[in-house]
């Protein structure tokens, strides 16, 4: 039986909302030296050796040019109590992190305070993927992980994790 192309954007978006994701804030430094941040939920590891990660950046994102041209970036894994940061950097506005506490590791990309961990990366490759750009980075340094609940997104909203399933 031949498959019929019947997937519309709304149906596809709804189906994808059934996949729980963590939330990260990707940070970098603009060409002019200003720290920048954007909320991302399409993030994953790629390889252990070498240590590679990727995130998907929407081509319509307000900071697209800054992140597409960045030689380095940091992936800040948000904890459950950092929903306000997720909301803040999901907004379409210039934001220089002036009111956010951060430090820097190796690449100079901002490492946000209070995250579960952060991965400081140099940009390795870009791949065009429809309405997104896939950005692959090689991890140069890792911020010390801390124990806390992650910020989770499921069915178009933030969620809390329940206790682990019995083995």
Decide which of 13 and 114 is more confident: 114
Each domain of the chain, given as residue ranges in start order, spans 22-154
Encoded tokens for 66: 């800054």
89 contact partners, CB below 8 Å, separation of at least 6:
25, 37, 38, 39, 95
Look at residue 2 and tell me whether its pLDDT is greater than 50.
Answer: no
* Topology adopted by domain 22-154: Pnp Oxidase; Chain A (2.30.110)
Q: What is the pTM of this model?
A: 0.89
Look at residue 87 and tell me whether its pLDDT is greater than 80.
Answer: yes
Look at residue 1 and tell me whether its pLDDT is greater than 60.
Answer: no
Encoded tokens for 84: 């306000």
pLDDT digit string (tens) for 30-64? 888 889 999 998 999 999 999 999 999 999 998 89
* C-alpha separations of 120 from 8, 9, 73, 99 in Å: 37, 34, 6, 21
| Confidence (pLDDT) at 166 | 64
Coil, strand or helix: which one is 54? Answer: strand
51 contact partners, CB below 8 Å, separation of at least 6:
138, 139
């Amino acid at each position: 039986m031949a498959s019929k192309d019947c997937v519309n954007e709304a149906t596809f978006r709804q189906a994808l909302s059934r996949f729980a994701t963590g939330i990260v804030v990707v940070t970098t430094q603009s060409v002019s030296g200003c720290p920048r941040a954007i909320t991302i939920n399409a993030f994953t590891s790629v390889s252990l050796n070498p240590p590679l990660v990727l995130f998907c950046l929407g081509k319509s994102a307000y900071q697209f040019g800054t992140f597409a041209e960045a030689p380095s970036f940091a992936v800040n894994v948000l904890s459950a109590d950092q929903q306000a940061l997720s909301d803040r950097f999901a907004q379409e506005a210039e934001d220089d992190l002036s009111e956010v506490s951060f430090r820097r590791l190796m690449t100079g990309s901002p490492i946000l305070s209070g995250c579960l961990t952060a991965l400081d990366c140099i940009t390795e490759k870009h791949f065009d993927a429809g309405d997104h750009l896939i950005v692959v980075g090689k991890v140069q340094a890792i911020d010390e992980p801390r124990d806390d609940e992650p910020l989770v997104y499921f069915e178009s909203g933030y969620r809390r994790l329940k206790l682990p399933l019995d083995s």
